[in-house]
Structure 1
Amino acid sequence: MTGPADSTNRTTASEGTWQPVADGIYRLVAEPDSVTIGLIVGSESALLIDCGSTPEQGARLRQSVANVTDKPLRGVVITHEDRDHWFGLAAFDDLESYGHETLTQRIDAPETLAEAERLGLTRADLRTPTQDFSIARALDLGDRYVELVHLGHAHTHSDVVVNVPQSKVLFAGDLIENPHPWFGPASSPRGWPATLNMMIGMVQSDAIVVPGHGDIVDAQFIVQTLASMASVPYETERLVHAGVKFEDAAEQGEWPLPWENIAEGVRTAYAEMSAQGVTRRLPLV
């Protein structure tokens, strides 16, 4: 998600047109959250990546697949628990759906239900994937294999990347956003850089990387994002040792990313260090 939750409703939702990413691979941008939706087409079936903010939007996305291919839609992958990637899943009740096992726990979380209510949805409108996994899952679409991989707690608890190694295309969900990543309350300041480090090992130097929001990037963009994000917990620790309170961190810290993008991550890092007993380091002399 590119920003904090707002009061958007079903009437503001819309979808763009499918644009080619590589042979048999497409993306479109769905509003109101400017979220990237992906489509992978094999010789036997197709796979949708994420499903929009509401069941109505999910249904429209499902119908739009026919504009690209006559191959049957096998199902949909949920890249993580943010509303704009997940809440449309009810439109796929008759198909298989795939996602990380933590979605089963997150669906009844107060923050999830509050997001649904803001969109005019109820718990009955939400779904969890029919096929969940803890680490990895492979799908065969005919002449094209797709890898679904959970690399750890990062942007959310449930992040999944969708890798198409034959085509050198990686759908990164909100682990990568262009131009900048966005920390939410569920994000892990230390887990996210570690996850990006593993992601770099998955892709070749000439890979096409499709962010959860924003224009397509390359493998170098992952490296750049990792470099900027890795400094967040270390800069926070420096401030804690210097006795700087969170309320003053925006002004006194040296941050490589816009403060509004990382504020929740810094808040979490402060809380984690407090829980670990990290406090101001007194001068030795």
Structure 2
Amino acid sequence: MSKQFASAGDMAEKKISFTEIGRDLWAFTAEGDPNSGVIIGDDSVMIIEAQATPRLANKVIEKVRSITDKPITHLVLTHYHAVRVLGASAYGAQQIIMSEKARSMVAERGQEDWDSEFERFPRLFQGHDSIPGLTWPTTTFNKRMSVYLGKRRVDLMFLGRAHTAGDIVAYVPDENVMFTGDIVEYHSACYCGDGHFHDWPATVEKIRSFDVDAIAPGRGDALTGKAMVNAALDSTSDFVRSTYRPVAQVALRGGSLKEAWDACRAECDPKFSDYAIYEHCLPFNVARAYDEALDIDTPRIWTAKRDAEMWAQLQG
């Protein structure tokens, strides 16, 4: 087990892929780094997920400009995490859309999350000096809203708590394609530090009920074809359940966080240790699962100080 915290030592650049997953629908992926999505309408473009910095956002914009010169008018943020939202200023979008709950989480814990993730993921925050501040939406909604890019309709929906309490998905019905954010991952660990373990699998099943032809997940390769989509849905739910179950058993018998960590590793290492950011996510996942087992419904706010204290506790 690496003694270096989170992804502090991960400084290697990732190979970018830009995959068409439906007509004028694209997934920007980078070997387990945060993904973005591109939806091209009749006369404008919607981006899903901003990236961590304007520097990284410009890599998305470069790919967009390789296929269209239509203006980027809408930016959809599936949740509030810093690595997803702080690059927003680069796009110059007229509308920045979040769920109402995600906006409340920016207000409640956005700065703390920024400070915490800056320490965890130094590579993603190269060029951070260009971030103008916290990203705030111009438009919010509770359950569902539709955005029309000319004739193309994009349905934005809150299907249930999962990766955070405010996750949304973007569904493009004319191509039966969905952008799920971090509710679904592919060969990448789920970050559960702000998660809701009891709710997450049911939210995954709501996504499955759409029977989509392709998904752009939060991390990992674009999912094309129903077999690949269903495999990713299955593995995401298995990851969440396999993380929670052993940790809850330890917590409910009064065991320590370190014992819960050992139990989680025994269950998850054989299945998931080769997943992207597995070691990065594991301490946060164990800590949150431990809390949820003890009926702490709202995830406690992660700060750089809390990160360090938790990591020291897990090192024994």
TM range (shorter): 0.7 to 0.9
State the partner residue of 1:164: 172
| Cα distance in structure 1, aligned partners of 2:58 and 2:260 | 44
Letter of the 1:35 counterpart: P
Q: How much has 1:96 moved relative to structure 2? A: 1.0
State the partner residue of 1:272: 292
| Cα distance in structure 1, aligned partners of 2:58 and 2:130 | 17
How much is the aligned-residue C-alpha RMSD, in angstroms? 3.2
| Cα distance in structure 2, aligned partners of 1:5 and 1:132 | 32
State the partner residue of 1:75: 74
In structure 1, which of residues 214, 220, 223 is the aligned counterpart of residue 220 of structure 2? 214
Q: How much has 1:138 moved relative to structure 2? A: 1.0
Alpha-carbon spacing, 1:231–1:19, altered in 2? closer, same or farther (3 Å): closer
CA contact (8 A) 1:90 1:126 kept: no
Q: How much has 1:144 moved relative to structure 2? A: 2.2
Alpha-carbon spacing, 1:240–1:184, altered in 2? closer, same or farther (3 Å): closer
SS in 2 for 1:209: strand
Letter of the 1:178 counterpart: Y
Q: How much has 1:16 moved relative to structure 2? A: 3.6
State the partner residue of 1:111: 112
State the partner residue of 1:127: 135
Q: Which moved more, 1:237-246 or 1:148-157?
A: 237-246
Overall identity of the aligned pairs, in %: 23
Structure 2-normalised TM-score?
0.72
| Cα distance in structure 1, aligned partners of 2:93 and 2:185 | 31
Q: How much has 1:89 moved relative to structure 2? A: 1.0
Alpha-carbon spacing, 1:124–1:103, altered in 2? closer, same or farther (3 Å): farther
Structure 1-normalised TM-score?
0.79
Unaligned runs of 5+ in 2: 120-124, 297-316
State the partner residue of 2:309: none
Q: How much has 1:111 moved relative to structure 2? A: 2.3
Q: How much has 1:193 moved relative to structure 2? A: 1.6
Q: Does 1:181 align with 2:195?
A: no
CA contact (8 A) 1:155 1:174 kept: yes
Number of residue-to-residue matches in the alignment? 269
Q: How much has 1:39 moved relative to structure 2? A: 0.8
Deviations 1:180-218 (A, max 9, x none): 4323421122122221122112234xx212211111233
Alpha-carbon spacing, 1:181–1:75, altered in 2? closer, same or farther (3 Å): same
| Cα distance in structure 2, aligned partners of 1:269 and 1:34 | 23
SS in 1 for 2:183: strand
State the partner residue of 1:279: none
| Cα distance in structure 2, aligned partners of 1:263 and 1:189 | 15
Higher relative contact order (CA 8 A, sep 6+): 2
Q: Which moved more, 1:219-228 or 1:73-82?
A: 219-228
CA contact (8 A) 1:13 1:57 kept: no
CA contact (8 A) 1:29 1:36 kept: yes
SS in 1 for 2:174: helix
SS in 2 for 1:125: coil
| Cα distance in structure 2, aligned partners of 1:269 and 1:219 | 26
State the partner residue of 2:306: none
Alpha-carbon spacing, 1:69–1:222, altered in 2? closer, same or farther (3 Å): same
| Cα distance in structure 1, aligned partners of 2:158 and 2:139 | 14
Deviations 1:23-57 (A, max 9, x none): 211122359x7222211112232211111111233
State the partner residue of 1:196: 204
Alpha-carbon spacing, 1:208–1:255, altered in 2? closer, same or farther (3 Å): same
Q: How much has 1:86 moved relative to structure 2? A: 0.8
| Cα distance in structure 2, aligned partners of 1:228 and 1:64 | 32
Letter of the 2:80 counterpart: E
Map 1:17-28 to 2 at 5 A: 18-28=18-28
CA contact (8 A) 1:189 1:265 kept: no
Q: Does 1:247 align with 2:237?
A: no
CA contact (8 A) 2:159 2:203 kept: yes
Q: How much has 1:99 moved relative to structure 2? A: 1.2
Letter of the 1:102 counterpart: K
Q: How much has 1:122 moved relative to structure 2? A: 8.7
Deviations 1:112-164 (A, max 9, x none): 24147654459842221111112212111233221111222211233121111
Q: How much has 1:64 moved relative to structure 2? A: 4.1
CA contact (8 A) 1:153 1:191 kept: yes
Alpha-carbon spacing, 1:163–1:235, altered in 2? closer, same or farther (3 Å): same
Alpha-carbon spacing, 1:198–1:251, altered in 2? closer, same or farther (3 Å): same
